Structure 1
């Protein structure tokens, strides 16, 4: 026990120092955790612990908590709106990538049929832990390419289930695949149905009573129980821990507790994700890497190129070229679930040990390279796409303060922007209508494409640092949603809202809006003012 605490303390201290140094250079902390794993493994001769089942379980729960937070943002309603990204883009990407990798492995490199199937499926997956951690921390998840990437990653996580089932079938003798698929389908229906029907009631009840107790530890404990219990239930039925956590997150996303749950769970997710990346670093075999460096580098670049081309082609079918390109580059690496696939296949003797080690090195190097690629994604895409998309210009806003945000560029919005410009006031325009954004660009306005009822867009617009927000929209429902979002996100910001009728005034009466401007009343006042001051 003493030695375990000693190694944990050393690893924790080293990772803190390394990440503090890397932070100064703008390098992802993921790299720091991987370097910690390499240093601890070789510095204390602990490479054998990289295959520790207990350590792998602990590390896997980092991905579990990440999937839970993703589920919090992907409610059933939102999933229905993302069906193209999840089911169309996701399925096409996985199938096409797997077919190409299978053709290369089986047809060109002449590996066995079972080995080629496993390799092709493992390499078709991307890294949920790395990509979504970056997208969430930088708010890039709200961008078009972030939405596409998230949808594809969700499908990939679901695809892990049949992949693991297939490995079990390949390793079994005489087991009918039809029976395996039927049992899996029944288990999936039972588990998901239980979580949504029974689990939803239990989760809501538990969160309600723990929140009314006003004791933070009880609420946090309730969340941990929900995550772990859902994960164990899914694992017991033969699925991944992550699937249970993802479904639990989707259920809580339908309740009013999802924002508090997400903020409370963040420290556990980040700490366990750090553990996961430490174990990734411990898997690096430096001797084998030096011996097969040429092979590893060649396979790495081939995998990155094939996946990028496939993803670009799939996403480009229904999206702009720039969005497709950024999505392709962001998801070109190999995912962490590949470790589990290679390990399971190795244990079942479905893949040679040395080939498995080489592929693990390819996965590790692709994960190491990904944070650098993501951090420079806009710069990379800039070399190929010189035009600035109206959906991709938020990068110019960080650090903005003491500005006014004009929400809506309709008739009134245009007059407001004109008056602000004439007064020399610093302002930006935001609109969720592509047509209005194009009009604003033609008028030389600094305009951003986004829905201001979304927290991620408010964050990108530096709303907390603005002087005020002027809402010029006509749609009452959208107007109220935006007001509620701004009041919740930045309650200290002055909110000025245009209303056009008494009904609108009544509908917004319950909100702490700073000023409401009644268009009809102001026109009447101006008419009277002009009438009594004119010369007869």
Structure 2
């Protein structure tokens, strides 16, 4: 071939590549432009953004308006979105957290996959009188959407809640379970290698991957990140993080495991370093963009024409799939020992079909297991269940609340299979004037440690049965249960408590517990933690005495440390803190953060009391100065404050002359006040007599 021919061939190749790139760019431009319009419209009618992205895919895809002829290019970018989503979740997680929820991952996830697969297999076999697709259909319906569920829970700030951790644990097991499912499907189609050999090879590969990841995290990654961070280059740091994320994902995918599992492992390893927060901050924009494309690509699989012609079958199977998955998850959570409220909440969150079901569907099609109308039917049902997910998650708290009021046995309502529910395990010593801590996370643990060191009696209420069992062995006064249940609050003697502190982070749960505590114990002092200033007004209205918003308190702690580094005097910092707190709490409550009350102090001082009296004409107090009355010497009583014409005069001096109509606040022993009071209200002549 001559030089001219080679040049001509190269030019043609480059032209084809250019046209292909322009075609991909045009598809992306169409999808993103349409997505902007659809999301804005959804925002106006209060439809979640995820549903908007799914609708965008339906409209733009080959089965909709046909604006995008093929979804392959978008699907590739969508897979990157799932990888980055799982990578960011791994960054926000930690190995210690994974160990803590291992029971949920192994037992909860295992039971959910096994039971769902078995039930679907039995139903499909009965309906179609056998068929090689019965078991693969069970596999596909057993999986839930990691991308949609975790994205929605992150947006709602519920990933750290009890039901959020339950969902995360079950989803992690499902992602791992995809691998043996993919090995079994070819065998069911009459092809594939020996199963035991394939499983053995996969086990060796998996062991090698985990060993590689462990050694990298222990010996290689810290040194590399230190060198990269020393360059102070954001670009180099970001590239290093991306290389590690995609590298581990590629290795796990090459070994037969899923991309998302590798990405999660990469994030989990990086989370143990001091660079995790910086990595997360730089990854977020890319994660959000590519994850949005994932939802668009899912919407493109929905064949609107098929749905229109078979809408009764499609809708019936959609609701059947949602109900089946919700019930199975509900039963699994109950078996793990959690209350019915949490079981209903988790069941509704995990009631959709997952993105990895599409991968299994592709394998089934390739091996001739899923053919004909079964393919668009499955894709339609799966996509519609995903569209329902944001609405189900939004409705889950109300549904869980209603379920908790069903007339069912207490063992079901409160959790029946936990060893911590045994009567001897729930017994607490008699308590009075004590502290009740709701939640035994980092905040609750530190509070319990402080109470123990100060000699304050306390009791802890925790929803995780494994945590309760473990801490019970250490001698902690902890009980299992839902703190919004009146019977449980009575069990920890909340009526006799001095303070109740709710240390949980989930807003809906905190509001429910606040209302329950105030209903059972109207006089107890209730301190509540929340993440947002916007929650302060709601919690105060429900009866909280103090609400600690992390947004405000974190900002105060940050600027206090900054000013300290600039050698600003401590008294000036304290004044600024008081002013910021006052402004911050007034903006949401209309009044400043409550100060310590006299009743709080006197509850710990026996036989002391604060009383008020109004000065009447002709009484012992009228027209006398405080010095002339000499109440402290004569009666052992101190004047704390005087209110005149609506204005308080705290700690008045001896020259203040009391006038009729003044309100005087007195502090003294109860017996002294009882003796003095008749003389204060009687005319002067009677008082002298």
TM-score in same-fold range (> 0.5):
yes
1:118 alignment counterpart: 136
Q: What SS class does the counterpart of residue 491 from structure 1 fall into? A: helix
Q: 1:173 to 1:6 in 2, by over 3 A?
A: closer
Q: CA offset at residue 64 of structure 1?
A: 1.2
Inter-partner Cα distance in structure 1 for 2:339 and 2:145? 23
2:66 alignment counterpart: 45
Q: What SS class does the counterpart of residue 338 from structure 2 fall into? A: coil
Q: How does 1:242-253 map to 2 (within 5 A)?
A: 242-253=260-271
1:212 alignment counterpart: 230
Per-residue CA shift, 1:472-495, capped at 9, x if unaligned?
xxxxxxxxxx9x999877634879
1:21 alignment counterpart: 41
1:279 alignment counterpart: 297
**TM-score, normalised relative to structure 2:** 0.60
Q: 1:273 to 1:48 in 2, by over 3 A?
A: same
Q: Give the counterpart of 1:460 among 530, 535, 542.
A: 530
**Bigger relative contact order (CA 8 A; separation at least 6):** 1
Give the number of equivalent residue pairs: 458
Q: How does 1:224-243 map to 2 (within 5 A)?
A: 224-243=242-261
Q: Give the counterpart of 1:71 among 90, 103, 107.
A: 90
Inter-partner Cα distance in structure 1 for 2:40 and 2:502? 34
Q: 1:407 to 1:178 in 2, by over 3 A?
A: closer
Verify: 1:7 aligned to 2:27, yes or no.
Answer: yes
Q: Is the 8 A contact 2:341 2:401 kept in 1?
A: no
Q: What SS class does the counterpart of residue 319 from structure 1 fall into? A: coil
Q: CA offset at residue 206 of structure 1?
A: 3.0
1:265 alignment counterpart: 283
Inter-partner Cα distance in structure 1 for 2:44 and 2:229? 39
1:450 alignment counterpart: 504
Structure 1 gap segments, 5+ residues each: 394-405, 416-431, 467-481, 496-511, 516-522, 528-533
Q: What SS class does the counterpart of residue 327 from structure 1 fall into? A: helix
Q: CA offset at residue 16 of structure 1?
A: 1.7
Q: Is the 8 A contact 1:64 1:242 kept in 2?
A: yes
Inter-partner Cα distance in structure 2 for 1:143 and 1:228? 29
Q: 1:413 to 1:8 in 2, by over 3 A?
A: farther
Inter-partner Cα distance in structure 1 for 2:438 and 2:121? 36
Out of 262-271 and 380-389, give the one that drifted further.
Answer: 380-389
Inter-partner Cα distance in structure 1 for 2:206 and 2:27? 40
Verify: 1:309 aligned to 2:309, yes or no.
Answer: no
Verify: 1:335 aligned to 2:366, yes or no.
Answer: no
Per-residue CA shift, 1:392-450, capped at 9, x if unaligned?
99xxxxxxxxxxxx9679698999xxxxxxxxxxxxxxxx9769974696469785242
Out of 100-109 and 181-190, give the one that drifted further.
Answer: 100-109
Q: Which has the higher helix share?
A: 1
Q: How does 1:112-151 map to 2 (within 5 A)?
A: 112=131, 114-151=132-169
2:393 alignment counterpart: 374
1:294 alignment counterpart: 312
Verify: 1:176 aligned to 2:194, yes or no.
Answer: yes
Q: Is the 8 A contact 1:63 1:129 kept in 2?
A: yes
Q: What SS class does the counterpart of residue 61 from structure 2 fall into? A: helix
Q: 1:464 to 1:306 in 2, by over 3 A?
A: closer
Q: What SS class does the counterpart of residue 375 from structure 2 fall into? A: helix
Q: 1:210 to 1:433 in 2, by over 3 A?
A: farther
Of the two, which has the highest radius of gyration?
Answer: 2
Q: 1:288 to 1:445 in 2, by over 3 A?
A: farther
Inter-partner Cα distance in structure 1 for 2:321 and 2:480? 39
Q: CA offset at residue 44 of structure 1?
A: 5.3
Inter-partner Cα distance in structure 1 for 2:366 and 2:271? 38
Q: 1:354 to 1:206 in 2, by over 3 A?
A: farther
